[in-house]
Structure 1
Amino acid sequence: MKRYLFIILLAISFSVHAQPNAANYKYIIVPEKFSFLKQINQYGLNTLTKAFFEDKGFRVYFDNTEIPEEIAADRCKALVVDLQEKNSMFVTNVSLLLKDCKGAVVLKSKEGKSREKEYATSYNDALRDAFTSFNDLKYVAGSPTPTTSAVPSNTNTETKTIPVPADQPLATKTEKQEALLYAQAISNGYQLIDATPKIVMTLLKTSVEDCYISNNGNANGIVIKKNGTWFFEYYKNNVLVSEKLSIKF
């Protein structure tokens, strides 16, 4: 009898000290530069990460921007994104981590992989592959957000990895824009104009050739050149949308 009582008490103890669910957090902070890369928003990875979690219902901020007073007063109300690289000779591997204010890993994705040779394409494809681990993640409005006292400082936390079958394809929806768009130079990039003429999209320069931070008025994403063809890529309802563009520079 004592043995069963001990097991019950042990189970209760584990439930009290369990890690908070990432979906209970309202805010996510994305660094402007991932630690293994040399430049800010290199390959557009930081912007892509921000757009992904915004589509999940979270309020997402870069770490170099002004953050809400609620987070400034208590950093433990936000999760921080980290990206880890583990490359081999022919494969790009990245894992996405969500950490709490103490640096403990709350969620970790599978290793996203890509065999593309071009760095910009390879890192973007690998990151999107890692995103599939978070397909079911969604911010639940009104859920209690863990505070500093939610996890005792001496609690040993473990990384929670969401299993995803290795052969699971990335959900992608490809759309084609037939109209020719004309690129008009601006101070920090281009604006794309249709035949009306009307500005339909802005392209902001990045440190990567043929890769731009983009906005079409409805979605934030990136415009990237793949095999000589331009694409506008963004997330909509948890699905990666890739719009083929016809641009005349």
Structure 2
Amino acid sequence: MRFYIHILLFLLVGLSYSQTKQVVIIKHKYDFQTEPDAYNINNMFKGILLAEGFDVYFDDEELPLFVAQNRCNAINGVMLDKSNVFVTKLKFVLKDCQNKILFESAEVKSKEKNIQNGYIEALKLLSPELKKYNSTLVQKKDVVQIPSGVVSSSIAKCQYVQITNGFAIMDASLKVVLQIYNTTNPTIFIADKFGVKGIFTKIENKGIFEYYKNDKLVVEEYLF
């Protein structure tokens, strides 16, 4: 039992961290560069990502434990250089751990003759492109993706009352159907459904209760 508690706490820490900021891993040296951070491209790219609210790491530095143990807890930022002798052209792509493209920026250009200045100007133009990606995240934040093969169900509209260290969730007849307990993340709770324990995530006016039954993941959606 203690083992499962430790696993649950580890998941909660990872979820708490990842929901606060999305982790992006970028290279210290891309294929078009002759040395790490040539023309200060990589540090500038990192700074732009940080300014847009991401948690950013170079691929050659120490990663957070929950990312090091599962790289799918982070996304990869890829910089592409399409420059020629007349113009500096850059774009970036964000990919998940399975190399699926999550976002592809428009190509930005600079006609600065000085190479360093050209990269600086082009990189500055990438910041608005990142805002586009952040907008797509906001639009998707209330969408819960249920993986194939997972048992899922929706529970009729409920209400909840505060109890010691958490809340009791009640159905329309005011019968308690689930109890949830606080964690360090205000949107994530340890849940108990008559001895069945799992994780409860609060998203706006709905909650998602996840637990295992007969070695199969069960996902229940509660509406408030």
Q: Give TM-score scaled by structure 2 length.
A: 0.50
Q: Which has the higher contact order (CA 8 A, sep 6+)?
A: 1
Q: Give TM-score scaled by structure 1 length.
A: 0.45
* Structure whose residues are more often helix by fraction: 2
